[in-house]
Amino acid sequence: MFETAYHASIGSVIGLLVFIFDPFSNLFHTYGDKTLLLFITSCLMIPYPLVKERWFNLFHLNPPTWSLFWEYVANIAYAFILVRLSKKILWVLIVIAAGLLFYESKRSNFLGVGWGGDNVIGGVIRVFYSFLAGILVYRLGWKVRVKTGFIPVAILLFAVFLIPFSERYNWYLDPLVVVLFFPFLILLGAGAGTNKITHKICLFSGDISYPLYMIHYPFIWLFMSYVEKYKPGLATMTWMIIFGTAALALTAYLIVKYVDAPIRAMLKNRWAVAKS
């Protein structure tokens, strides 16, 4: 959890710089007197839904922190309560959590909730199911052996991202994917084998995945400010998205190499000294 926390802090620093120096938006001039409070609450993961122009995100400087916040809550619940529950009780709770997912999705018309001041309860419901499902899958030791490797699993995951949004269908498609399809993908991924090449790809992707997740959104805000101001055409947006994605992946890699790895090594050495 310490690792995820400092990734969130790095994201907050980047978010602060983007907030102050964004050349396409005047949000800093509107909320400048609250900047220090925004930064402190973001680093300490204290929800502060202030900026209405950005839909009252719980953590405006680094919006993905909302999921880390609920992960901390879930881990505390696990340490004191969930670790003691039997598999039967977990099954009962998962059924209840799945029902709540469908309820929330019907109420909100989709499951993209939990990140803002006006939909914060959705975050509780989302983590309620996913965390419990992860615990149960781990305890049961379920795996689906995939002889073809991880690429078919990756294709199945990619296919989910191609599902278009529909106000008519998403209220039930979203929870169906979360309740049934995603756990199945976890089982496939746990049982998928890799060769030398795909193993390196998986390691690299895994290493940069969380840093990438925790730093990308300030640049989304920057991109959004640009689009709101200049309203670029599709061709311009296409090359900007391609370049921006590559730049973000590179930034995440640099964080892994020059921040994550040294801190891991330091903590490992201190742990070894403490044990000796």
Is 60 exceeded by the pLDDT of residue 35?
yes
Domain count across the chain: 2
In terms of pLDDT, which residue wins out, 85 or 193?
85
Q: What's the mean pLDDT in 58-65?
A: 96
Q: pTM for the whole thing?
A: 0.90
Query: Other C-beta atoms within 10 Å of 138: how many?
Result: 11
φ/ψ bin of 145: left (φ > 0), alpha (ψ from -120 to 50), beta (otherwise): beta
Question: According to the model, what pLDDT value does residue 265 have?
Answer: 86
Predicted local confidence at residue 4, as pLDDT: 64
| 94 shares its domain with 189 | yes
Domain membership of residue 21 as a residue range: 1-65+195-261
Same domain, 172 and 124: yes
Q: Does the pLDDT at position 271 exceed 90?
A: no
Cα-based distances in Å from 117 to 16, 39, 50, 55, 100: 20, 17, 8, 8, 19
What mean pLDDT comes out for the span 66-93?
96
C-alpha triplet 68, 64, 175: angle, nearest 5°: 80
Among 147, 166, 193, the domain boundary falls at 193
Task: Give yes or no for a contact between 213 and 188, defined as CB atoms under 8 angstroms apart.
Answer: no
Q: Distance between CA 85 and CA 88 in Å, rounded?
A: 8
Residues 202 and 189 in one domain: no
Quick: pLDDT tens for 218-248.
Answer: 999 999 999 999 999 999 999 999 999 999 9
Per-residue pLDDT at 1: 60
